[in-house]
Amino acid sequence: MIEGRLRPGDRLPPERELAATMGVSRSSLRQALFELQSKKLVDRTQGRGSIVAESPAGALELADRLRSTETDLAHAGELRDLVEPRIAHLAALRAQQSNLLALESVLERSHPALAAAESLCLDIEFHTLLAHAAQNPLLVTLCTMTTTWTRDTRTLSHRTSEGRRISLDGHHRIYAAVSRHDGRAAAAAMEQHLREVHEISMSAD
């Protein structure tokens, strides 16, 4: 929501349709919606369904400032190397069951035989969901902006099935640590993942 795919006032699909699209049970979906409501990310009203709420002011202000910043690719990569291991660490400590289910859904839909563009989209979705699991909207904003700044480099890592396999293996290691609520292991897994992705990108360039 903070990344702009859904805007304040947008109505979410009916629960049955949304659960089928995400591949989760309706009870799991309701748990996730209650969590979003508690964080004031959606408004739920009897008879009206779920509507996207206004994003936190701090996150919007940060996003506006970052969008107006001239960003060097190397600087963006350094920022990602600093921020994403911390996101993984916090996600391991704070992830709710609904966060884990969402991450599982992405992993189930990911495999090396996917087209490069689809694999990249799922890669971005995984990292964004991980940032949401850290329960800090400012980190979600930072993750979204570094994704934008490093998209060309990340595209290179998904050009080959071997690159997609290595990236996906990294996601599985990160998820395993997060699901165990092992913050240190999650951060280490993310650091290893970023190193491997960088190596793939350099060799594909």
Ordered by where they begin, the domains of the chain are: 1-55 (1.10.10.10), 57-204 (1.20.120.530)
Angle at CA 98, nearest 5°, toward 97 and 102? 115
Contact by Cβ (8 Å): 149, 110: no
Closest CA to 133 of 167, 168, 183: 183
Q: Is the pLDDT of residue 111 over 70?
A: yes
Q: What CA–CA distance (Å, rounded) separates 116 from 101?
A: 24
pTM for this predicted structure? 0.68
DSSP state of 45: E
68-77, 96-105, 115-124, 152-161: least confidently modelled range: 68-77
Burial class (CB in 10 A: 0-12, 13-18, 19+), 51: middle
The pLDDT assigned to 4 comes to 45
The pLDDT assigned to 119 comes to 92
Q: What CA–CA distance (Å, rounded) separates 4 from 164?
A: 26
